Amino acid sequence: MSQSPSSGASAPLHRLLSQAADAVQGVREGRSLTDLLTRVPADLRPGTQALAFMALRRLGGAEAARKQLAPKAPPPRVDALLLTALALLWPDPEPAYADHTLVDQAVHAAKLRAPASAAFINAVLRRFLRERDTLVAAAERSPEGAFNHPAWWIEKLRLDWPAQWQAILAANNRPPPMTLRVHAQRTTAADYVQRLAALGMGARLLGAPTPQAVVLDKPAPVSALPGFAEGWVSVQDAAAQLAAPLVIGAGLKPGARVLDACAAPGGKTAHLLELQPDLQLTALDADAQRLTRVQDTLNRLGQHATLKAVDARQSATWWDGAPFDAILLDAPCSASGIVRRHPDVRWLRRPDDIAALARIQAELLDALWPLLAPGGRLVYATCSVFRAEGQAQLDAFLQRQPGAKSHAVPGFTGHLLPVAENASQGNAGPPLDGFFYALITKP
């Protein structure tokens, strides 16, 4: 969920800037923003996240501008604060803070975190404001500065999607909508929108092919959502809500055995049980800590599944030999389709990560295919827009398994890109994350 800077308005801006700079520094050193934010004091976390998200969405331009202003990079703690401030001073029709306030508070933060750098920070930021138009124009002449993604990522998208690559990059830099999934066994999406309206919270229905999806006009903490603690609603992007109905299809037989092979954090696991509560569902994840999030989700929703902390590829260590009627493989991937929700991903990935992840995806497909019953269905999913993790992966699997059959399901399968043509009619921006889905059946 995106946060507005006002979320941390009760905290002094210089403290939020310092925390956000620490987060930016951590990401530049290869650490996950999600993990970094858990270390931020609770009262500062919403505001810190808002500033860190904004800084990471503009980091390419900020780095290009800093290289013009200070060709020799300052120490990491100073550089991170400087880049965060430059990103927040970037031209914006609705800036979060007045320029003079931001500069003043960045200098205040510098005095506390690196006192000797305060004059340097002040000089650089004030020069940036004086020459902003020229410096921004120069920064945007480089691919990284223009699109705020690494050059290799931009080139890969350009090759994969020659007509849409710029739209995808632009979508990645916009805050995403907050989308909910209404529990099908508790109420309808239309009724839930009315409940929200009664509380003064605007929302709209998405409709088919995601009939349980509701998009909020403005993001809100889950504690403000009526019935959240009681399991009436969950937070889940519309694209992710396509997985469960694709697995169930026209309906699995009562008591059908279903495998969710890479289940954490549990949204798709729960959705399967919302649509068909009588499933015998086994949920796996290689990370035992992440699997606890699946159990927490099931507990909140009053659902049950068999959870196992195992590597799905090592079926000899966990499979009981009884075939599954359906398998969902939401495979580990680059997360290149959900960059708008996780703006650090683009800066954490390296070019060779994609090939390494594609090998894991192929290993998972090959390991799980023998576990599927004849006539069963396997849904392969990734939250990626790269073809290597989507259509190319599917094509290679079908070559290795001549008996497997892929089925096109309009609106569900194939590459779903986070661009306007995948948006609901009348929506100002695409409500969908980038995903790939394939439905494969066994003879």
Active site residues: 383
What is the DSSP track for 139-168? Answer: HTTSHHHHHSS-HHHHHHHHHH-TTTHHHH
Give the residue among 264, 302, 304, 270 at the shortest CA–CA distance from 284: 264
Q: What are phi and psi of 336, to 5 degrees?
A: -70, -10
Nearest alpha carbon to residue 283 among 312, 300, 316, 305: 305
Q: Where do we find the tokens 């505001």?
A: 47
Query: Is residue 63 within 8 Å of 138, Cβ to Cβ?
Result: no
Identify whether the C-beta of residue 253 lies closer than 8 Å to the C-beta of residue 276: no
Q: Which amino acid is at 231?
A: G
Contact 173, 103 (CB under 8 A): no
Which residues on adjacent β-strands are paired with residue 440? 378, 406
How does DSSP assign 293-308, residue by residue? Answer: HHHHHHHHHT---EEE
Instruction: Output phi, psi for 188, to 5 deg.
Output: -105, 160
State the Cα–Cα distance between residues 199 and 186, nearest whole angstrom.
19
What are the residues whose beta carbons fall under 8 Å from the beta carbon of 296, sequence distance 6 or more? Answer: 266
Greatest CA separation for the chain: 71
Distance CA 134, CA 128 (A): 9
Structural contact between residues 60 and 145, judged by C-beta atoms closer than 8 angstroms = yes
**Would you say 177 and 429 are in contact if contact means Cβ atoms under 8 Å apart?**
yes
Total Cβ atoms within 10 A of residue 35: 11
| β-strand pairing of 324-330 with 257-260 | parallel
